């Protein structure tokens, strides 16, 4: 589901990072006390992660939401998050140019 707001869309001639809150399935590698997304499925499309460019955490009460900024093989940019409480992944932002 694309988050609806009055903000301009790329189709209007604006560039923007789109806020999305779609559930995704993620293959993750765990090691050295960290987790690293390897690839994920979004709308039946498999996205291979080329590089994790950053990560951060948001606290929601005692629960932690882990965020990852990713560059895909296609060089598209994604932000995904892992909700530790209900063990679900979500795609939160995407940047696809052109």
x-or-dash string of contact with other proteins, 37-56, rule CB under 8 A: ----------------xxxx
Best CA proximity match to 82, nearest among 49, 98, 50, 60: 60
Q: Is 77 exposed, middle or buried (0-12, 13-18, 19+ CB in 10 A)?
A: middle
Is position 77 an interface residue for other proteins (rule: CB under 8 A)?
yes
Closest approach, Cβ 95 to other proteins, in A, equals 6
Distance separating alpha carbons of residues 42 and 45, to the nearest angstrom: 5
Q: Which residues bind other proteins (CB under 8 A)?
A: 5-8, 13-17, 19, 53-58, 60-63, 67, 69, 71, 75, 77, 79, 95, 97
């Amino acid at each position: 589901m694309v988050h609806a707001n009055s903000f301009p869309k790329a189709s209007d001639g604006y560039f923007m990072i789109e806020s999305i809150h779609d559930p995704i399935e993620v293959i993750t590698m765990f090691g050295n006390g960290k987790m690293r997304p390897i690839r994920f499925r979004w709308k039946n499309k498999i996205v291979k992660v080329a590089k994790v460019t950053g990560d951060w955490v948001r606290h929601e009460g005692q629960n932690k939401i882990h965020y990852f900024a990713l560059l895909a093989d296609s060089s598209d940019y994604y932000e995904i998050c892992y909700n530790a409480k209900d063990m679900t992944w979500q795609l939160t932002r995407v940047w696809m140019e052109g």
